[in-house]
Structure 1
Amino acid sequence: MAGSDEGGQSGAVGAPMSPAQSRGARGLLGWSEADLAAKVGFGEDFVRAFEAGHGDPPPGQIDALRSVLMAVGAVFTGSEANGVRLDSQAGGSEGTRLDGLTTENDR
């Protein structure tokens, strides 16, 4: 299922998304902080602060970010090492390739 957590039940909410997983998912999708914020309806500053590990946002706001990312194919893994990957059946963008990453990709 596109965007579902690995090994999780459909519709079940998994472990909370970490700031690193959020950054990773955005990178895979080729999204900026502003892109994610706009899709959720939050300010870009919220996404930036969360991903930098600042503050203590309510879990519901993190869940909203995670839900948007999952809806477009992000799969959050929580086995021995938390991670994120794109669902191969999601049909979305491949994201930014490693050789294409620059400081500009994060704006």
Structure 2
Amino acid sequence: MSAAQSRAARALLDWSRGDLAGKVGFGEETIESFESGGSDLASGQIEALRSALMAAGVVFTEDGSAGVRLSDRGGDEGTRLGALTTENDR
């Protein structure tokens, strides 16, 4: 997930940085730094953010556009088989 996707997903959900931070137990400054390009997060931290957004109904597009949209059905789609890694298969 890119910083732009995180910002766009929050906008779709009408969530503040604080809302997202609260869902995953991070400080708001962590979200702000990631989304502004000020710092790179560990892959596990990015996956936690992505999972929280997906649980709220955000779908990350995989058509090369690196976009986001809201799901028609909401809920968590889980991790797609092709995206499983040793970091996110737990």
Report the TM-score range of the alignment, normalised by the length of the smaller protein: 0.7 to 0.9
Match of 1:75 among 34, 39, 59: 59
Q: Which residues in structure 2 correspond to 1:80-91 (within 5 Å)?
A: 80-90=64-74
| Larger Rg belongs to | 1
How far 1:51 sits from its partner (Å)? Answer: 0.5
Identity of aligned residues (%): 59
- Structure 2 unpaired stretches of 5+: 76-90
TM-score, L = length of structure 1: 0.67
The RMSD of aligned alpha carbons is 1.2
Structure 1 runs (4+) deviating above 4 angstroms are none
Compare relative contact order (CA 8 Å, sep 6+) and give the higher one, 1 or 2. 1
Give distance in 2, aligned partners of 1:55 and 1:44.
13
Give distance in 2, aligned partners of 1:55 and 1:89.
33
2:9 aligns to what?
A: 25
AA aligned to 1:85 is: R
How far 1:89 sits from its partner (Å)? Answer: 1.4
1:65 aligns to what?
A: 49
